[in-house]
Amino acid sequence: MSAQAQPREVEPPAAPSRYENRELSWLEFDARVLALAERHDLPVLERVRFLSIFNRNLDEFFQIRVAGLKEQVQAKLGASGRDGLPPARQLELIAERVRTLMARQHRVWVRSLRPRLAHAGIRVLDWSQLDEAARRVCRSRYEERIYPILTPLSVDPAHPFPYISNLSLNLAVGVRHPSGGGVRFARVKVPPSLPRFLALPDGERFVPIEQVIAACVDTLFPGMEVTAAHPFRVTRDADVELEIDEAEDLLQAIESILRQRERSPEVVRLEVHRAMPAGFRDLLKEELGLSDLDVYATGSTLGLADLDELAALDRPDLAYPRWSGVTPAPLQPVVAGRSDVFEVLRAGEVLVHHPYEAFDTSVELFIEQASRDPAVLAIKQTLYRTSEEDSAIVRSLIRAAERGKQVVALVELTARFDEEANISWARVLEQAGVHVVYGVVGLKTHAKISLVVREEDDGIRRYCHIGTGNYHPETARLYEDLGLLTADPEITADVADLFNFLTGYSGQDRYRRILVAPLTLRRGIAELIAEQARPGGRITMKMNSLVDARMIDALYEASAAGCEIDLIVRGICCLRPGVPGLSDRIRVRSLVGRYLEHSRIFRFGADEEARYFIGSADLMPRNLDRRVECVTEIRQPQLQRRLDEILAVCMADDVLAWELGPAGWTKVPPSSRVDAQAALQRLAQERAAG
């Protein structure tokens, strides 16, 4: 079944008051990340890390979301969302909000973080703050390691304005001949191969590399007078469309997309230091085809996503206490060598909760044992995102193929910003004899599923893993996610059918225990919501984003019918809670903290009648209609209690939690000081200790 078989419904516009704007709601999520950088009670390097994440998020927002809005404006399209805001008006509101956030960022970096870092022995200094000895060191480093790789590009009638690459940091340099004449413009790109902060020999002082280059830039223009050198940064459209029906080879098509992204023609944002002269700013605007709305001036350091370099310094006294996930109690005998994972799963299902429970002694262990077990006949695996350099799961798949097992890896080549790593792994897997496939035409495969087929004394038995997060060891330490390991015959049969849908030709549209997008998930969730649309009805959902208008309308109807609804939405939420007559019984909160809340949990009903689901899908149109997603029901009472425990802790949080009301997001005031992530960490330790 392909995407072409899914008709696109044309929905009538609705009253703007029913929905929050998607893009502005996303910015409010990033504002909550910025608020973590502003928290004085957090370790200073963690605050620096949150400021880096805030900037990286904003970069992606402009590359994808703002770029899309600008395309709509150019195409002269009207309002495209249910909120009723035309694209041009959205861009105006975005620019206004981003400027406010940038002012907050400047204050926290200059007035709080830099002084706190200095107090801890990490001094980020401007060139003007260096003594002469430090300047000599910087000039020496410049001559030895920086100057040889710099390339000045002048702009004059003989030299057209150069291409400015996406997210690159540059210097706009003014030069003129000593004998007179006007100031000419030149561009010097800061090589991305260099560390962003040059460390002085004492290991305590750091200087932004662009300031070192600016101080020495006259060496690039011998015989000329340098009048100014000001940093600027460009963001381009990175959401290049793939015409998949026209692509004969998907691998080659994605590689072409990566080349297009590197040289995307559309600039969507220009960042400059506010000290840059108006003439330089106007020249950049004109050459890049931008308006005043697209120019963001700051008194702060540009490109603060690079602060992750400082956040990674080996100063455990300035960071969160180290945490290594515990091994789930049922799997401890496996790690100790007293049992195997298949024996454990035959005795009962195992629910794993990352990062509180370790990825390597649960999910990786499952695939690793399957790879070397002589009774295992086949392994099937989806790979949406995995590590760029080292992946234990990929190594296990290669080992299994080399031992003659039937191994299938569905690699999603179009996972945004992970395309290059996925292409590399796809080739490595193919060379090892793994059957590599790329999914269903027109649908991105976002499901997180693994299937192991094993020959046992009583016949063929299947085992599987269904998760909410990627098979990525690094994100498993940073993202909060859930996974189900099971030998349940119905679930494993469903997953086997789903793999057949993904790798072959299948008209399968019925499943026993799982909901699959784009086939049954939308209808299934809608029916579950409708069943609770009554007095005494109860719905609790935890997800990353809530955008889909039909799902929002279903929740509004359930609320109006008497259902009590609690939503835990980390990021975008287009539903408006607490509106009289519309959403009186709906409450929305967001948890933003050390770990990225990433799991999806859906509970329908109360007490004994409640039904529980976990899976890969958020309630967004793309997840419900344009991706392959897998959501599984959890029926084992012990595991249901685990999910209730997670939801209860998240609802009790008053340290990380924010609440959404008709007037927007507000921080939950601390009273009982419940930090959900710290509490779940303790619970995992207690459970592992028995």
Say if residues 592 and 658 touch (Cβ distance below 8 Å).
yes
Q: Are residues 493 and 550 in the same domain?
A: no
Please give the pLDDT value at position 10. 40
Per-residue pLDDT for 262 more than 90?
no
Q: Are residues 563 and 645 in the same domain?
A: yes
pLDDT digits (tens, 9 = 90+) for 429-457: 888 889 888 767 778 889 999 999 999 99
- According to DSSP, the residues that pair with 517 across neighbouring strands are 629
Please give the pLDDT value at position 510. 87
Q: Are residues 213 and 128 in the same domain?
A: yes
pLDDT mean across residues, the chain? 90
Q: Are residues 444 and 566 in the same domain?
A: no
Residue 150 C-alpha from the chain's centroid:
33
Report the catalytic residues.
Answer: 446
In a domain, 509, yes or no: no
Give the residue numbers spanning the domain of 177: 3-318
Q: Are residues 557 and 634 in the same domain?
A: yes
Which residues, at least 6 apart from 496, have a Cβ–Cβ distance to it below 8 Å?
380, 451, 453, 462
Q: Are residues 487 and 526 in the same domain?
A: no
Please give the pLDDT value at position 78. 72
Q: Are residues 464 and 524 in the same domain?
A: no
In a domain, 497, yes or no: yes
Q: Confidence class of residue 259 from pLDDT cuts 50, 70 and 90?
A: low
Residue that is written with structure tokens 């975005």 in the block: 94
Task: State the total domains in the chain.
Answer: 3
pLDDT digits (tens, 9 = 90+) for 189-205: 999 999 999 999 999 99
Please give the pLDDT value at position 287. 93
Domain boundary, last residue among 449, 480, 503? 503
Q: Are residues 569 and 488 in the same domain?
A: no
Per-residue pLDDT for 469 more than 80?
yes
In a domain, 408, yes or no: yes
Q: Report d(CA 407, CA 371) in Å as an integer.
A: 9
- The enclosing domain of 679 has a CATH number of 3.30.870.10
Please give the pLDDT value at position 436. 87
pLDDT digits (tens, 9 = 90+) for 69-80: 998 898 887 766
Please give the pLDDT value at position 390. 72
In a domain, 323, yes or no: no
Domain boundary, last residue among 503, 522, 557? 503
> What predicted TM-score, i.e. pTM, was given to this entire model?
0.91
Residue 301 C-alpha from the chain's centroid:
24
Classify 224 in phi/psi space as left (phi over 0), alpha (psi -120 to 50) or beta. Answer: beta
In a domain, 360, yes or no: yes
Domain boundary, last residue among 318, 343, 376? 318
Q: Confidence class of residue 428 from pLDDT cuts 50, 70 and 90?
A: confident
Please give the pLDDT value at position 404. 95
In a domain, 419, yes or no: yes
Mean of pLDDT values over 475-495: 97
- The enclosing domain of 77 has a CATH number of 3.30.1840.10
In a domain, 508, yes or no: no
Q: Confidence class of residue 414 from pLDDT cuts 50, 70 and 90?
A: low
Please give the pLDDT value at position 121. 97
Q: Report the chain's C-alpha Rg in angstroms.
A: 27
Both tokens of 674, joined, read 């419940």
Question: What is the total residue count of the chain?
Answer: 690
pLDDT digits (tens, 9 = 90+) for 82-129: 888 899 999 999 999 999 999 999 999 999 999 999 999 999 999 999
In a domain, 483, yes or no: yes
Per-residue pLDDT for 249 more than 70?
no
Q: Are residues 286 and 374 in the same domain?
A: no
Which residues, at least 6 apart from 151, have a Cβ–Cβ distance to it below 8 Å?
188, 189
pLDDT: is 3 or 253 the higher one?
Answer: 253
Q: Are residues 404 and 491 in the same domain?
A: yes
Q: Confidence class of residue 679 from pLDDT cuts 50, 70 and 90?
A: very high
Please give the pLDDT value at position 177. 87
Say if residues 560 and 582 touch (Cβ distance below 8 Å).
yes
Q: Are residues 568 and 424 in the same domain?
A: no
Mean of pLDDT values over 43-59: 98
Q: Are residues 550 and 475 in the same domain?
A: no
Residue 553 C-alpha from the chain's centroid:
27
Which residues, at least 6 apart from 638, have a Cβ–Cβ distance to it below 8 Å?
348
